[in-house]
Amino acid sequence: MQREGFLVVLSGPSSAGKSTLLERVLLKMPDLRYSVSATTRPPRPGECEGKDYFFVNEKNFRKMADTHELLEWAEYCGHLYGTPRFYVESVIAGGDVVITDVNIDGARQIREKMPFGVFVYLMPPSLDELHKRIINRGMDTEESIALRMKAAVDEMQAVIDYDYCILNDDLAKATDQLMAIIQAERCKVLRTHIPVFAW
Amino acid sequence: MQREGFLVVLSGPSSAGKSTLLERVLLKMPDLRYSVSATTRPPRPGECEGKDYFFVNEKNFRKMADTHELLEWAEYCGHLYGTPRFYVESVIAGGDVVITDVNIDGARQIREKMPFGVFVYLMPPSLDELHKRIINRGMDTEESIALRMKAAVDEMQAVIDYDYCILNDDLAKATDQLMAIIQAERCKVLRTHIPVFAW
């Protein structure tokens, strides 16, 4: 029984712990593929083209964005980062599952282009906990803390647009839940090539 | 974060191995509740009312069926068997997950009454394998084998009406998959009470 590949989008507020969770799940599911991003940032020593990133210049990046070759993109610290459509689509065409972690806006962009992806929202334990973390970093003014908390409240409300929601109050539990979601989505009849039965 | 309970319906052709799979999953998921059936069959020694079955007389059973108090029912070896709605609904109302294993027709009856249940189809490894099992039992005439195989082909085609499909070619794998489906469905945003976020 053949199953189709699909894209899993892991998103949530920046403090939710997306990268840590993703790392764990990738370690435990060796068949799961990580979506390689494109960036205009120059390669750092040891970084490999096509494994860590697809390194492109700004002109080519902008062209990819204009021609819908990026599922989502954003500027961060003066460089452009995006999710190339061709990589995701080639993994899916091979029958595999590919996962990406993006912020709330990135997930929104991807949903417009791939509505049949699996959208998973990672929820931080609480706004109190988030507030503590920001204060403990000691890097924000009172005004900037207020702005960050306002943004977090907005981002928390985005959860209703997702398929699944995982509460990140226990990393082992969250890992099990994300793995279960991927395994269950694999079993969807919609993603299964049903053979013709005859006798 | 509060999650809603739901009903899981495990179905498939009679040879698929539903009861064995269900037993395994119930052992591994102690919070999962098994849907207790109603029957007109007299209790056997050691059977407990409300645990093994709800024992009812035929008049009351027929009344339950007529007043839609049974999610599905059928006659088997001269006795009536059915799935009482009140039991399933009380487990769901308590926020728990309840599972039942029924034949294809039973699943069809339940879907009409509870379209938001989770419908899982258990697929036998192949029609060849099924044919072998029927022959090996040595209980069927050539004509009855042909009829059984025809019925099995029809039942296999019902899979397209289900949410999930598990191939029962490996009991351990099938157990993992059914557990993953239940765990993933627990994480559905649709089944989650999203709190009001304010700061």
What does the pLDDT look like over A154-199, one tens digit per residue? Answer: 899 999 999 999 999 999 999 999 999 999 999 999 999 988 888 8
The architecture (CATH level 2) of A2-193 comes to 3-Layer(aba) Sandwich (3.40)
CATH fold for domain B2-192: Rossmann fold (3.40.50)
CA–CA min distance B92, chain A (Å): 19
Would you call A121 exposed, middle or buried from its count of C-beta atoms within 10 A (0-12, 13-18, 19+)? buried
Provide the percentage of residues in chain B whose pLDDT is more than 90: 76
Q: Tens of pLDDT along B165-182?
A: 999 999 999 999 999 999
Closest CA to B185 of B115, B119, B137, B112: B119
Q: Which residues of B touch A186 (CB under 8 A)?
A: 177
Q: Taking 90 as the threshold, does the pLDDT of residue B130 lie above it? A: no
Rounded Cα distance between A175 and B111, Å, is 32
Residues in chain B: 199
pLDDT recorded at residue A176: 98
What is the pLDDT at residue B151?
A: 87
**A162 part of contact set with chain B, CB < 8 Å:** yes
User: Is the whole-model pTM more than 0.80?
Assistant: yes
Report the share of chain B in percent with pLDDT over 70. Answer: 100
Euclidean distance between CA atoms A51 and A198, whole angstroms: 45
CA dist., res. A193 & res. A109, Å (int):
29
The CA distances from residue A140 to A27, A143, A146, A148, in Å, are 34, 8, 9, 9
Chain B contact for A150, CB < 8 A? Answer: yes
Residue A15 has pLDDT above 80, yes or no: no
Assess whether pLDDT exceeds 80 at residue B15.
Answer: no
A183–B188: do the CB atoms touch at under 8 Å? no
Expressed in percent and rounded to 5, the helix, strand and coil fractions of chain A are 45, 25, 30
* Rounded distance between C-alpha atoms, residue A30 and residue A96, angstroms: 11
Yes or no, beta carbons of B198 and A152 under 8 Å apart: no
Judged by a CB distance cut-off of 8 A, whether residue B192 touches chain A is yes
Q: What is the pLDDT of residue A127?
A: 87
- Lowest mean pLDDT segment, chosen from A129-143, B20-34, B85-99: A129-143
Question: How confident is the model at residue B195, as a pLDDT?
Answer: 82
Answer yes or no: do B127 and A197 touch at CB < 8 A.
yes
Rounded distance, CA A63 to CA A53, Å?
Answer: 17
Chain B, window 95-134: residues with a beta carbon less than 8 angstroms from a chain A beta carbon: 120-121, 123, 127, 131
pLDDT reading at A22 higher than 80:
yes
Dihedral in degrees, nearest 10, Cα atoms B96, B99, B105, B109: -10
What average pLDDT does this structure show over B45-57?
95
Q: Among B165, B168, B179, B191, pick the best mutation site for testing chain A contact (most A Cβ within 10 A).
A: B165
Q: What contacts B165, CB < 8 A, 6 or more positions away?
A: A1, A187, A188, A189, A192, A194, B120, B121, B123, B159
Strand partners, A167: A123
A161: nearest Cα among A100, A99, A112: A112
Q: Which residue of chain A comes nearest to B118, CA vs CA?
A: A188
B177/A197 touch (CB, cutoff 8 Å), yes or no: no
Cβ distance B2 to B95 under 8 Å?
Answer: yes
Residue B66 makes CB contacts below 8 A (sequence gap 6+) with none
